[in-house]
Structure 1
Amino acid sequence: MKILVMGSGGVGGFYGGRLAHAGFDVTFVARGAHLEAMRERGLVIENEVQGDIRLPRVKVTDDPATVGPVDVVLIAVKLWDTETAARAVKASVGPNTAVLSLQNGVIKDDILRTELGDAAVIGGVGYVATRISRPGVILQTGALQRALIGEYDGRRTPRVEALLEALVRAGIQAEIVPDIRRTLWEKYTFLVGLSATTTTIRMPIGPIRSNLQTRAFLLEIMKETVAVGRALGVALPENYAEDRLRFADSVPADMTSSMHHDLERGSRLEVEWLSGGVVQLGVKSGVPTPTNRAVWDILVLHAQGRREH
């Protein structure tokens, strides 16, 4: 299986590194110091729990157009780069290529379909805690490494079966799900709630869930997200937001979101595709989303990051 990883940060570097370690033909697309380190020293996935994975040599480029047709394109860039990334990998997408995004949100695959066609795109959700700790090195926290994949029409096609086999061989807890759209919205509901509250309040989930006012804020954000999904035909239970609030009570008190970290670093924020995505889809489906609108409005002046002002 030939795989192109478009975006070799925490997510792309981890899944691509695991697949390369399992013996698959993986080419990474990277840039800057990370690209140079991978060219010189390969890629390392550090994990205190499971032990490190060291790949002394990897195939890496800054130009995906040089790679040619592949079996799988893994999209793992930041959401604002999705359209550019899709155009960049067009030459690698053949009639049977599976384009799999493990990015956040639910709008990502709509962007990919616009650029690459409906047939190319399969749905995917990744669960892993990773980041670039230094150029050429991915740091994984904990042992969670899941991937849920599926065709949007629910069929178990040969390409999805082959991708499942590859992920399992790479040590990923992977499965094919019959309703990938619902699976995406299940993750999106909690992700929007977590990112919106921790970033606007600038605190981890523990104090947010413990205070009656901020707890209600978290619940309302997720209720709006569920209402929009249901209006768009996603098979979410009506009380799914309450279910996710109970889940929020079970996670570590110091848990926060990557968007909160991005705000503190002065980096760009994905708010336009998280709470902003709920707002935009709410407009299309006729569902009011005032709480998510407030989150987007509060964060919009930070969305481009300090370095770009």
Structure 2
Amino acid sequence: MKIVVVGAGGVGGYFGAQLAASGQDVVFIARGDHLAAMRTQGLRVESELAPRVLTDVHATDDLGQVHDADLVLIAVKLWDTDDIAQRLVPLASRGAAVISLQNGVQKDETLGRYLPRESILGGVCYISASIEAPGVIRHTGALARIVFGEYDGRQSSRADRILDAFRGAGIETELSHDITSVLWRKFVFLVGLSTVTSAARQPIGVLRDDPDARQVLYEVLAEATAVGRAAGAKLPDDFARQQLEFCDTLPPQMSSSMLHDLQHGHRLELPWLAGSVIRVGAEAGVETPYTAALAGVLAPYAAGERSAP
């Protein structure tokens, strides 16, 4: 397959490298020092699970140079989605399938404002990876998984082909027939973890061990669950409780990428995480007071340039 990976950071760099190493025709869309290093030195993935060294990397900062593709994987920050979607119109119109591996549950709605709806498949990934240095991706832990599927639940020939490509690259992959529910399952946990760790400026271990903070975490998880159910996701009645118990299994020092961004004065994905819960909840008539309160506390930092104390 000819695959375009838009965003060669931790997620795009890791999965793109696995696909390229397996023989797929991969083009990376990157920028800055990372792009320059990929062009001159190649791309290296430091990983206990699947280390890779690519010496011949096809990378560019200009999507206009790519004239056809079978599949586009989107792995940029959520605030870049509108811009990327507009630039992908020619490829999608010529038949490219598009899968976003970004966080969030409204990302594909954004893509659908510009791209043919039939070009978009739902997707979610589970991985901890980041750019360690220009041209170097650091993957932490043994988890590197993708779940994707057609929004109408059918098992299409293109989905089968994508599945074969992913699995052929050694990527743990599942084809889902209810991708909406899968997206919300990850999203509920992500909103709870990112919002509460960031507002408290503390890792999960501190929060789950403090009764008051633990209750706040539960309430945010419960609000996101209620909003997801109202939006059509098949989530169990006790899903928030399940997610809180899952938090008890995590390393105590684990936090969130939003807290990392907050501490370093970077822009936050707050409007697309907690903000989505608030917006979708308002549309569905579901109240989200805890999420709204914490989002308000974090709002002064959302644009970046101001680091948390």
Give the equivalent residue in structure 1 for 2:96.
97
Paired residues of 2:67 and 2:91 also in contact (CA < 8 A) = yes
Give the equivalent residue in structure 2 for 1:248.
247
Give the equivalent residue in structure 2 for 1:35.
35
Give the equivalent residue in structure 1 for 2:220.
221
The residue correspondences of 1:181-260 to structure 2 (distance < 5 A) are 181-260=180-259
What is the deviation of 1:173? 0.6
The residue correspondences of 1:104-119 to structure 2 (distance < 5 A) are 104-119=103-118
TM-score, with normalisation over the residues of structure 1?
Answer: 0.97
Task: Report SS of the residue matched to 2:23.
Answer: coil
Q: Which moved more, 1:49-58 or 1:219-228?
A: 49-58
Give the equivalent residue in structure 1 for 2:290.
291
Q: Which amino acid aligns with 2:285?
A: G
What is the deviation of 1:52? 2.7
Q: Is the alpha carbon distance of 1:193 and 1:307 closer, same or farther for their aligned partners in structure 2, counting shifts above 3 Å?
A: closer
Structure-2 separation of matches of 1:195 and 1:50 = 26
What is the deviation of 1:307? 7.0
1:161 aligns with 2:160: yes
1:85 aligns with 2:84: yes
What is the deviation of 1:117? 2.1
Task: Report SS of the residue matched to 2:141.
Answer: strand
Q: Which amino acid aligns with 1:278?
A: V
What is the deviation of 1:51? 5.7
Deviations 1:197-240 (A, max 9, x none): 11110111001001110000000001000111111121111211
TM-score, with normalisation over the residues of structure 2?
Answer: 0.97
Paired residues of 1:70 and 1:94 also in contact (CA < 8 A) = no
Give the equivalent residue in structure 1 for 2:24.
24
Q: Which amino acid aligns with 2:31?
A: R
Give the equivalent residue in structure 2 for 1:132.
131
Task: Report SS of the residue matched to 1:165.
Answer: helix
Structure-2 separation of matches of 1:93 and 1:70 = 8
Structure-2 separation of matches of 1:39 and 1:228 = 44
What is the deviation of 1:92? 1.7
Paired residues of 1:192 and 1:275 also in contact (CA < 8 A) = yes
Percent of matched pairs sharing the same residue: 47
Ranges in structure 2 where 5+ consecutive residues have no aligned partner: none
Q: Is the alpha carbon distance of 1:51 and 1:162 closer, same or farther for their aligned partners in structure 2, counting shifts above 3 Å?
A: closer
Q: Which amino acid aligns with 1:191?
A: L
Deviations 1:261-299 (A, max 9, x none): 111111110010111110011111111111111121111
Structure-1 separation of matches of 2:157 and 2:173 = 16
Paired residues of 1:65 and 1:92 also in contact (CA < 8 A) = no
Structure-1 separation of matches of 2:306 and 2:13 = 25
Structure-1 separation of matches of 2:142 and 2:202 = 25
Give the equivalent residue in structure 1 for 2:45.
45
Give the equivalent residue in structure 2 for 1:11.
11
| Count of residues in correspondence between the two structures | 307
Q: Is the alpha carbon distance of 1:230 and 1:50 closer, same or farther for their aligned partners in structure 2, counting shifts above 3 Å?
A: closer
Task: Report SS of the residue matched to 1:123.
Answer: strand
Give the equivalent residue in structure 1 for 2:59.
60
Paired residues of 1:95 and 1:120 also in contact (CA < 8 A) = no
Structure-1 separation of matches of 2:94 and 2:209 = 51
1:302 aligns with 2:301: yes
What is the deviation of 1:136? 0.7
Q: Which amino acid aligns with 1:37?
A: A
What is the deviation of 1:91? 1.9
Structure-2 separation of matches of 1:149 and 1:204 = 30
Task: Report SS of the residue matched to 2:114.
Answer: helix
4+ residue runs of structure 1 moved beyond 4 angstroms?
Answer: none
Task: Report SS of the residue matched to 1:70.
Answer: coil
What is the deviation of 1:188? 0.3
Structure-2 separation of matches of 1:68 and 1:138 = 27
Structure-2 separation of matches of 1:90 and 1:59 = 21
Q: Which amino acid aligns with 1:80?
A: W
What is the deviation of 1:22? 0.7
Q: Which amino acid aligns with 1:22?
A: S
Paired residues of 1:69 and 1:94 also in contact (CA < 8 A) = no
Give the equivalent residue in structure 1 for 2:170.
171
